[in-house]
Amino acid sequence: MPKLKLTYFDFDGGRGEPARLALHIGGIPFEDERISPKDWPQLRDRAPFQALPTLAVDDKVVAESNSINRYLGKLAGLYPKDDWQAMLCDEVMDAAEDIGTRIANTIDLPADAKKKAREELAAGGITRYLEQLQTRLKAAGGEYFADQRLTVADLKICMLVRWLRSGALDHIPKDLVDRVAPLLVKHFERIVGRPDVAKYYERRKVA
Ligand SMILES: N[C@@H](CCC(=O)N[C@@H](CS)C(=O)NCC(=O)O)C(=O)O
């Protein structure tokens, strides 16, 4: 097993969290480097694409959250071996990434423009994605997104659903997922209720 260091911002969510969870669930030792936002401007140029997460594998540093999720998913036994199931897993992770990017693009907008952009997203783009993700979940058997077992796609969607329901996003109703894709909420509850995930968050003191 190579020496692993995962670097991400110091909070229990976002693009780096599925990788942290995968490593914990797989029982893989790693250095969990957590960067404070105040230190980020000095560290930014060290990241290959000036963004986090990054993963150091021995002396090589790589980036891109979904690439990291796939690689660690394989190490942790949380990524399908079958090509078609792997495709389903990837599609879901990339869709989650699309939603995250669309929301992130609104963060620095002036207040009025942010309100308009987010209301449009909630009524249109995000709703469409959530409905389609729910359809994907149903088609895969209703419990997991791929391979009839836990994969990194489940972890990525869990983090997305937690974020959307957290109330942290102004102008995106926190009950949106519950209203348009209730099976994603059930999926979220099932995954965070797993003993391995629950134990991790108990230790991290995250509800
Ligand atoms: N496509 C990249 C996006 C990475 C990204 O934008 N990360 C954000 C945090 S979630 C970041 O580093 N923001 C700080 C910055 O851009 O200065 C990925 O999936 O890893």
Kindly report, residue by residue over 44-53, the tens digit of the pLDDT: 999 999 999 9
pTM of the model: 0.97
When pLDDT is cut at 50, 70 and 90, the band that residue 207 belongs to is: low
Placement of tokens 């949106």 in the chain: 176
Average pLDDT over residues 20-27: 98
- H helices of 77-192, where? 83-104, 111-123, 125-139, 152-165, 176-180, 182-192
Which ligand 1 atom sits closest to the C-alpha of 68? Answer: 20
Cα–ligand 1 centroid distance for 75 (angstroms): 23
What pLDDT, on the 0 to 100 scale, is given for residue 205? 80
Return the residue whose CA atom lies nearest to atom 10 of ligand 1: 15
Return the residue whose CA atom lies nearest to atom 9 of ligand 1: 52
CA dihedral 67, 68, 74, 79 (to 10 degrees): -60
Q: How many Å apart are CA 162 and CA 96, to the nearest integer?
A: 12
**Mean confidence (pLDDT) of the chain:** 97
Return the residue whose CA atom lies nearest to atom 11 of ligand 1: 51
The answer to whether the CB of 15 is under 6 A from ligand 1 is yes
Kindly report, residue by residue over 47-89, the tens digit of the pLDDT: 999 999 999 999 999 999 999 999 999 999 999 999 999 999 9
What pLDDT, on the 0 to 100 scale, is given for residue 194? 97
The answer to whether the CB of 14 is under 6 A from ligand 1 is yes
Kindly report, residue by residue over 115-150, the tens digit of the pLDDT: 999 999 999 999 999 999 999 999 999 999 999 999
